[in-house]
């Protein structure tokens, strides 16, 4: 009896130990998220361990030996892969298999790893299959894969993937001897639009425009987003309705109607486009993209809301401009510029009144690198005009102060000021500091501006001009007679001097109507209390005419071309009593 009791106690202890071990094992499997199937081929039994109910989405209580129940839990498209993998293990002595499968009920993804143990005779003895839910990981991977190819805001192809597709498209086009058109699109004045409606609505506008572009996506047409408001379309073997020109016209037609934001406000906008074609405009995808972008900038310069097509001259001019920009940067750093002076004379007495200071850019041999008409617009575009203009003003006052102290001859000097300079917050303070530094009489300084200075912020410019005039500085309106200048415009401008453009002077003698208009300008200016300067006077007839109608001063090749500091100094000496 004692032996029997001992054996019973021993079996009970072993069972309790096994139950505890099983409890621990099941707890571990629950925490790990793994589900297990253990199959014993010798006893023809199977056991389930782990959170099966959560994984497959329904109550699981048993597993039939034939595994048909398990197959029924899998998505029908994945059953064959599972069956073939298990069959391969059981009949060809495989020991391990890993599959990714979907469940039927919740359509979740599960990872299935199976291991097989064989007996000494090579027959299947045991099989254990581990399952775990990998839905979250699969979704994350799919999202990562999506972002690898698509722009997160618009859903269009992103820059990197578009370039890859374009590269393949160009290689195919080269093999098949056809063309690829590349259309670069940019929303005009998007920064201003974005500033006015806010970043969130700006993103909404970009999304709306991208949906319009998606309509053109097709078998041989791909659409991508390259930047904030920059989009790109590539067309393989373009013709008819599938061409850059047709697509751009269709886009413009759709943009005739305003885009309505979710806050019900309407936004009108236009787009500009540049077109480059493979292989003419580039032998590689990157060259094609670069040149299309260059052509787009040309379309912007030509007035926006326009399309421009690649021409070799556009690329050549761009390269020349880039080279000039770099040289200009170096010239600013090294102060490689110089000031020339063009004299102004009183029409009545013929006395030297002063000069207009003109910027010149000489090389080391004294030859001009290029004309101001070429490099000044570039400087205004890239912002270099601000340091250049500051240097011109400072250098001019320095030279004029030196002449004043040496020759004791009262001379005025006119300095051109760009609209960009005038808009700078510290411009007035800078002018005042230079006047104090060189003890320069403000009444001897004229700042020449054009009407473009009033375009961006009229009230601010007027305020600055009034401060300068209170200091004693004279303000001259340059190039009157060009652009939108009109006599009625003058009465609202706080200016002291009106410079009549050369186009008036050239036609005043030969054309009686032009002569009458020129005289009317001089008369009106006089009645408004303004002095007048005739620019570009090249003949005695022109000078005599301007003198006869009461123009105050003349300036031009007849009385003196722009001259170096040394030559103008000689001119001053000749004026001395």
Domain with CATH 3.30.450.20 in the chain: 33-138
- Provide the token pair at 341: 């002076």
CA 413 – CA 392 distance, rounded (Å): 12
Domain with CATH 3.20.20.450 in the chain: 321-575
Task: Say if residues 49 and 81 touch (Cβ distance below 8 Å).
Answer: no
340: CB partners within 8 A, 6+ apart? 357, 358, 359, 360, 562, 563, 564, 565, 568
Distance of CA 481 to the CA centre of its chain: 36
Output the CA–CA distances (angstroms, integers) from residue 428 to 139, 163, 329, 470, in the order listed.
60, 49, 25, 11
CA 278 – CA 282 distance, rounded (Å): 6
Question: Which class does domain 33-138 fall in?
Answer: alpha beta
Domain with CATH 3.30.70.270 in the chain: 152-310
Task: Say if residues 185 and 292 touch (Cβ distance below 8 Å).
Answer: no
Q: Which of 51-65, 68-82, 109-123, 133-147 has the lowest mean pLDDT?
A: 51-65
Residues 390, 393, 396, 402: is their CA dihedral positive or negative?
A: negative
Provide the pLDDT for residue 144. 60
Percent of the chain with pLDDT over 70: 86
Output the CA–CA distances (angstroms, integers) from residue 185 to 149, 170, 226, 532, 562, in the order listed.
20, 20, 9, 47, 44
Task: Say if residues 418 and 447 touch (Cβ distance below 8 Å).
Answer: no
pLDDT range class, residue 530, cuts 50, 70, 90: very high
Task: Say if residues 519 and 546 touch (Cβ distance below 8 Å).
Answer: no
Provide the pLDDT for residue 65. 46
- 565 burial via Cβ count (<10 Å: 0-12, 13-18, 19+): middle
Residue-wise pLDDT tens digits, 465-493: 999 999 999 999 988 866 555 566 677 78
CA 105 – CA 264 distance, rounded (Å): 43
- Provide the token pair at 17: 């130990």
CA 325 – CA 353 distance, rounded (Å): 36
What is the model's pTM?
Answer: 0.65
Q: Which of 341-350, 441-450, 455-464, 497-506 has the lowest mean pLDDT?
A: 455-464
23: CB partners within 8 A, 6+ apart? none
pLDDT range class, residue 58, cuts 50, 70, 90: low
Distance of CA 116 to the CA centre of its chain: 60
Output the CA–CA distances (angstroms, integers) from residue 82 to 100, 126, 149, in the order listed.
9, 18, 31
Provide the pLDDT for residue 182. 95
Secondary structure element (H or E) that encloses residue 445, with its range? strand 445-449
Say whether pLDDT at 360 is over 90: yes
Neighbour count for residue 37 (Cβ, 10 Å): 20
DSSP structure string for 548-576: HTT--EEESTTT---B-HHHHHHHHHHH-
Task: Say if residues 464 and 427 touch (Cβ distance below 8 Å).
Answer: yes
DSSP category for residue 451? G
Q: Is the peptide bond before 459 cis (omega within 30 degrees of 0)?
A: no
CATH superfamily of 321-575: EAL domain (3.20.20.450)
- Closest C-alpha to 438, from 390, 385, 393: 393
Residues 402, 403, 405, 406: is their CA dihedral positive or negative?
A: positive
Say whether pLDDT at 24 is over 50: no
Most confident range, picked from 40-44, 305-309, 379-383: 305-309
Average pLDDT rounded to a whole number, residues 167-180: 94
pLDDT range class, residue 85, cuts 50, 70, 90: confident
Residue-wise pLDDT tens digits, 317-349: 888 888 888 888 988 888 899 999 999 999 989
Residues 175, 176, 179, 184: is their CA dihedral positive or negative?
A: negative
- Terminal alpha carbon distance of the chain: 149
Provide the pLDDT for residue 451. 82
As a dihedral over the C-alpha atoms of residue 124, residue 67, residue 104, residue 143, rounded to 10 degrees, the angle is -10
Provide the pLDDT for residue 131. 76
Most confident range, picked from 130-139, 232-241, 306-315, 350-359: 350-359
Higher pLDDT among residues 94 and 175, named by residue? 175
CATH superfamily of 152-310: Reverse transcriptase/Diguanylate cyclase domain (3.30.70.270)
**b/e map of 151-174 (b: 16 or more CB within 10 Å)?**
beebebbbeebbbebbeebbeebe
Provide the pLDDT for residue 482. 64
The mean pLDDT value of the chain amounts to 84
**b/e map of 178-190 (b: 16 or more CB within 10 Å)?**
ebbbbbbbbbbeb
CA 377 – CA 419 distance, rounded (Å): 12
């Amino acid at each position: 009896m004692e032996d029997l009791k001992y054996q019973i106690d021993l079996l009970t202890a072993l069972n309790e130990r096994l139950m505890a071990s099983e409890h621990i094992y099941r707890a571990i499997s629950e925490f790990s998220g793994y589900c297990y199937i253990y199959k014993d081929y010798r006893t023809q039994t199977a056991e389930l361990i782990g959170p099966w109910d959560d994984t497959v989405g329904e109550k699981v209580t048993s597993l039939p030996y034939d595994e048909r129940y398990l197959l029924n839990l899998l998505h029908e498209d994945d059953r064959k892969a599972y069956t073939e993998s298990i069959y391969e293990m059981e009949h060809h002595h495989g020991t391990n298999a890993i599959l990714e499968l979907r469940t039927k009920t919740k359509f979740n993804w599960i990872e299935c790893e199976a291991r097989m143990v064989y007996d000494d005779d090579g027959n299947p003895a045991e099989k254990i299959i581990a399952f775990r839910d990998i839905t979250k990981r699969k979704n994350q991977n799919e999202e990562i894969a999506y972002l690898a190819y698509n722009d997160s805001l618009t859903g269009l192809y992103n820059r990197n993937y578009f370039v890859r597709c374009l590269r393949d498209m160009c290689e195919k086009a080269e093999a098949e001897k056809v063309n690829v058109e590349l259309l670069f699109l940019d929303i005009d004045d998007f920064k201003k639009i974005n500033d006015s409606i806010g970043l969130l609505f700006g993103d909404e506008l970009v999304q709306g425009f991208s949906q319009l572009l998606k309509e053109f996506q097709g078998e041989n047409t791909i659409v991508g987003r390259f930047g904030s408001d920059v989009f790109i379309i590539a067309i393989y073997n373009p013709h008819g309705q599938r061409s850059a020109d047709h697509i751009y016209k269709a886009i413009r037609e759709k943009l005739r109607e305003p885009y309505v934001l979710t806050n019900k406000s309407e936004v009108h906008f236009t787009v500009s486009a540049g077109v480059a074609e493979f292989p003419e405009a580039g032998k590689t995808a990157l060259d094609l993209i670069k040149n299309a972008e260059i052509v787009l900038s040309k379309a912007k310069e030509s007035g926006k809301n326009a399309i421009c097509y690649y021409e070799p001259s556009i690329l050549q001019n761009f390269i020349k401009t880039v080279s000039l920009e770099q040289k200009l940067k170096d010239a600013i750093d090294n102060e490689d510029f110089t000031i020339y002076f063009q004299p102004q004379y009183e029409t009545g007495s013929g006395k030297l009144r002063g000069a207009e200071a003109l910027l010149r850019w000489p090389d080391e041999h004294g030859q001009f690198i290029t004309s101001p008409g070429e490099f000044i617009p570039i400087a205004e575009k890239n912002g270099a005009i601000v340091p250049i203009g500051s240097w011109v003003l400072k250098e001019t006052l320095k030279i004029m102060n030196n002449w004043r102290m040496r020759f004791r001859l009262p001379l005025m000097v006119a300095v051109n000021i760009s609209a960009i300079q005038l808009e700078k917050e510290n411009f007035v303070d800078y002018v005042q500091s230079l006047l104090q530094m060189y003890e320069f009489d403000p009444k001897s300084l004229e700042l020449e501006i054009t009407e473009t200075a009033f375009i961006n912020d009229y009230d601010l410019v007027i305020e600055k001009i009034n401060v300068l005039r209170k200091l004693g500085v004279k303000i001259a309106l340059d190039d009157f007679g060009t652009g939108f200048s009109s006599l009625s415009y003058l009465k609202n401008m706080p200016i002291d001097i009106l410079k009549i453009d050369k186009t008036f002077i050239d036609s005043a003698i030969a054309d009686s109507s032009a002569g009458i208009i020129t005289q009317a300008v001089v008369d009106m200016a006089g009645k408004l209390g303004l002095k007048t300067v005739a620019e570009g006077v090249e003949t005695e007839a022109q000078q005599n005419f301007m003198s006869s109608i009461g123009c105050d001063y003349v300036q031009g090749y007849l009385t003196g071309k722009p001259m170096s500091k040394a030559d103008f100094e000689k001119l001053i000496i000749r004026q001395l009593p």
